[in-house]
Structure 1
């Protein structure tokens, strides 16, 4: 029974140990030379512009083939960048505590920390203390807003008709980050076509 409990505990700790090994082996430089960008190493939740190193002015639109004219557009888009959910924020808090404990232990044993990324020393979760999570963040708003602008500029003839909900059907789930993404996208797509505010926005549904 003791052996079984040990094996179960060992299996439960494997993901954390793998993460720690990855973090401690990502750089072979000293702390002073560290240029590691954690934003590029977040797997499926890495932002597209960070993963592909795309700047605000580096977008290159695809060209429409000669003799072709777009007549219809269907767009299925994921929501923009969001904050972590409450569950993920708790996991990040636990990870920060675990990492700090390992670093403290290494310091007490006078182990070398030269290969530890500089951002890891004293790291705490940016969402520490937050109660709610999962909402669309500013970067996510800009992503969908810019997407709407790019489509409008890319397809001026196709998207040149006056707005009507039967012509431009914009749908989103009831999850707040999804509906907020749809709003940001439509603001970029229809910007300058209405009478609301300095941006001449218009209402849409």
Structure 2
């Protein structure tokens, strides 16, 4: 999947639309729709782990066969926004205030303005640091480790050794913290540390400058050039979708959405 960043104006517009989509989904007759389940690669583990997808059929282990090896590539858990994203959320709050000011000048009916928007501010307003794995993210990876062990119990009967159970992570704080939380769940109850009988385990990482496996998008110039060359096409692909949503919300709430 090729992910690109929207230009600043489109980013703000898309963020406002996402906030309003949450309200729209809650007002529909179909209460099953939840935008939190439809956030692509940033959907939280806890939001989708209990969803049964009929298109996915897990492979049954043939009779007489036993799993002998497991490879898992996992995304980091829920984290706080980076400082860059926090600044963008501050801009979003300012943009919302402009929409509300415009609505007031137009004497829009209070029923037209979602009540929750009147006092909305970025939850990270004034915060100086960001990007850390939060408690929800810790729990997500901890529980993932437990589920993996329960799904393949025979794979974890052998005594721990880092060569047998290697855990590798990218060299960013939220990823390494996720790996630790995952390992705590995976090996919980098999050690001698504390009441939960945790054990120490190794987590290794490559330098961000040379990690061609997990962070190829940082160190592969060919990929960077390819991604940049395709950004205009991706933005163009998104434009009619954002325009359609903008039009529908502008009609519903009479806000002056501009790009």
TM-score tier, shorter chain, comes to: 0.7 to 0.9
Kindly state the Cα deviation for residue 152 of structure 1 after the two structures are TM-superposed: 1.0
For structure 1, the 5+ residue unaligned runs are 1-10, 31-35, 56-60
Kindly state the Cα deviation for residue 135 of structure 1 after the two structures are TM-superposed: 0.8
Q: 2:132 aligns with which of 135, 159, 175?
A: 135
Alignment of 1:42-191 (within 5 A): 42=39, 44-50=41-47, 52=48, 54=50, 62=58, 64-67=60-63, 68-191=65-188
Kindly state the Cα deviation for residue 18 of structure 1 after the two structures are TM-superposed: 5.4
- Secondary structure of the residue aligned to 1:178 is helix
Residues 23 and 173 (structure 1), Cα distance of their counterparts in 2 relative to 1, 3 Å cut: closer
1-structure distance, mates of 2:116, 2:125 = 16
TM-score, length of structure 2 as denominator length:
0.62
More helix by share: 2
For structure 2, the 5+ residue unaligned runs are 1-6, 28-32, 52-56, 203-259
Kindly state the Cα deviation for residue 76 of structure 1 after the two structures are TM-superposed: 1.1
- Secondary structure of the residue aligned to 1:157 is helix
Query: 1:64-87: per-residue Cα shift (whole Å, max 9, x none)?
Result: 333232110011111111110100
- Once superposed, what is the RMSD of the aligned Cα atoms? 3.1
TM-score, length of structure 1 as denominator length:
0.77
> Contact between 1:80 and 1:140, CA under 8 Å: does it hold in 2?
yes
2-structure distance, mates of 1:108, 1:142 = 46
Query: 1:66-124: per-residue Cα shift (whole Å, max 9, x none)?
Result: 32321100111111111101000000001101101211221232113434433322110
Equivalent residue, structure 1, for 2:209: none
Kindly state the Cα deviation for residue 53 of structure 1 after the two structures are TM-superposed: 7.7
Query: 1:125-152: per-residue Cα shift (whole Å, max 9, x none)?
Result: 0001111111111111111100110111
1-structure distance, mates of 2:25, 2:133 = 36
- Secondary structure of the residue aligned to 1:204 is coil
> Contact between 2:16 and 2:92, CA under 8 Å: does it hold in 1?
no
